[in-house]
Structure 1
Amino acid sequence: MHTVFRVLEIKQMAENSRLWEVQLTITDDNDPQLSALTNRIKEEVQGSTGWHRMGQLMFKVGHFDQTEELYQELLKNASTDSDRAHIYHQLGYLKDQQGKYQKTVKFYEKSLEIKRKTLPEDDASLTPTYSNIGVVYYNMGEYSKALEFYEKSLKIREISMPPNHHDLATSYNK
């Protein structure tokens, strides 16, 4: 682990001053609060690389502009179709959370386009993207388009999952 400090106190040096005094204490590897925090972050933030995990963390704390900037940079440097599809999917999710549905659909469809070039039409990993596009169209009030994507997701799930799988039940609920 890198050097981590705990903030003890922060106080302004003088009234109307732009200088602040920050008192720190160094933590050690046996600090239980630091260990608990580190473990929790590892559980919450998933990703194939440190940069992907950083994007997830920035998203979770609400730094949407920085998250998008990072994902756009990752997209420029992505070396595989799988990475590009994943990053487009993440950008779609980001735009969905911002309520920018037109952009959301474009990112999800770009992810889907890449996935469909490399995967069979009935591959189970296509279902989250189909479902998410359906949700976006539903939120936009375009119910017939939403149904079209829900049905595509359901069809794949019926083929690829056992009849009692919880994801299949979720599909029936939409």
Structure 2
Amino acid sequence: MDPKVGIEFVERTMEKNQDIVGVIFIMTIDQSKISTSNTPFAMIDEHSAIPSEQEILFTMHTVFRVVEIKRTPNNSRLWEVHLTITDENDPQLSILTNSIKQEIRGRGWHRMGQLMLTVGDFDQAEELYNELLENASTDSDRAHIYHQLGWLKRQQGKYPEAVKFYEKSLEIYRKTLSEDDASLAPTYGNIGRVYDNMGEYSKALEFNEKANKIYEISLPANHPLLATSYNNIATTYYTMGEYSKALPLLEKALGILRNSLPPTHPHIKSTMNSIAAAK
């Protein structure tokens, strides 16, 4: 599209509502960096009702890399986002995609539920998990669903409900597992995070350290879950104002994340920010 046309559309909308900002996406298409068979696009001006707009049609799975975000010099409410087209052959995109696939685990509807939680679609996720719970045929499935509902309630800020779901999950798991079984660590850690949210820091440390002890025994030294565990304990110490205890844990977590995740992963940036705040 002609940039002037896009800017005119945005500015007209901004004039009607002074409480919003405008965003213009400026896309650079370098055909030498992509496979057009995988990422096809086409000029459609000859098929458009307004050919002068010079529109381009992209396929649904087109991916762009964010190069720069900046405010325009002539309008403080108008922003430009500069993008370059990329595809599955981009090595950084491939690493990030594989990392996301590892995070969205499970099969069938359970995987769909995990995806809904990841993108923040909590109402639909809750509806799905309640349906799965009604039809669950094994204790293992029920324990997993209770755990997921606990995670959901924590994200919604409903902390007492979150603890109840996590405790239901633990109750089922403990029928067949020992207290220090590796399968219990995620639930211990998440209960610790809920208690941290509730301001019950001694309980938060108790459960987070229980999870961390299991992770240190059962996981490789560079596993991302171990980094998450260190981060959880550090968060509680930081909230308590004990920065000298939080800092070495955050540095441990950062070292693991840098060795196990792609450099663009948001967990690395957030941990670096936490370290800066704790110093």
Place the TM-score, normalised by the shorter chain, in its bin: 0.5 to 0.7
Q: Which position in structure 2 is the counterpart of 1:132?
A: 190
Q: Which amino acid aligns with 2:122?
A: F
**Alpha-carbon distance change, 46 to 34 in structure 1, aligned in 2, over 3 angstroms:** farther
TM-aligned CA deviation for residue 112 of structure 1: 1.4
Q: 1:146 aligns with which of 183, 204, 208?
A: 204
Q: 1:70 aligns with which of 113, 123, 128?
A: 128
Q: Which amino acid aligns with 2:192?
A: G
For residues 126-146 of structure 1, what are the alpha-carbon distances to aligned partners after superposition, in whole Å with 9 as ceiling and x for unaligned?
111101100110110001111
**Structure label with greater radius of gyration:** 2
Q: Secondary structure at the match of 2:106?
A: coil
Q: Which position in structure 2 is the counterpart of 1:100?
A: 158
- Cα distance in 1 between the residues matched to 2:107 and 2:130: 16
| Structure 2 residue 107 is matched with structure 1 residue 48 | yes
Among all aligned residue pairs of Structure 1 and Structure 2, give the percentage whose two residues are the same amino acid: 70
Q: Secondary structure at the match of 2:174?
A: helix
| Structure 2 residue 191 is matched with structure 1 residue 110 | no
- For these two proteins, the number of residue pairs brought into alignment is 142
TM-score (norm 2): 0.44
Q: Which amino acid aligns with 2:149?
A: L
TM-aligned CA deviation for residue 70 of structure 1: 1.0
TM-aligned CA deviation for residue 115 of structure 1: 1.3
- Cα distance in 2 between the residues matched to 1:83 and 1:100: 23
Q: 1:58 aligns with which of 112, 116, 126?
A: 116
- Cα distance in 1 between the residues matched to 2:152 and 2:193: 14
**Alpha-carbon distance change, 148 to 63 in structure 1, aligned in 2, over 3 angstroms:** same
TM-aligned CA deviation for residue 123 of structure 1: 1.3
Q: Which position in structure 1 is the counterpart of 2:30?
A: none
Q: Which amino acid aligns with 1:47?
A: G
Q: Which amino acid aligns with 1:55?
A: G
TM-score (norm 1): 0.68
Tell me how large the CA RMSD over aligned residues is: 2.9
| Structure 2 residue 99 is matched with structure 1 residue 79 | no
Q: Which position in structure 2 is the counterpart of 1:16?
A: none
**Alpha-carbon distance change, 47 to 145 in structure 1, aligned in 2, over 3 angstroms:** same
- Cα distance in 2 between the residues matched to 1:63 and 1:138: 24
User: Does the CA contact (< 8 Å) of 1:122 and 1:160 recur in 2?
Assistant: no
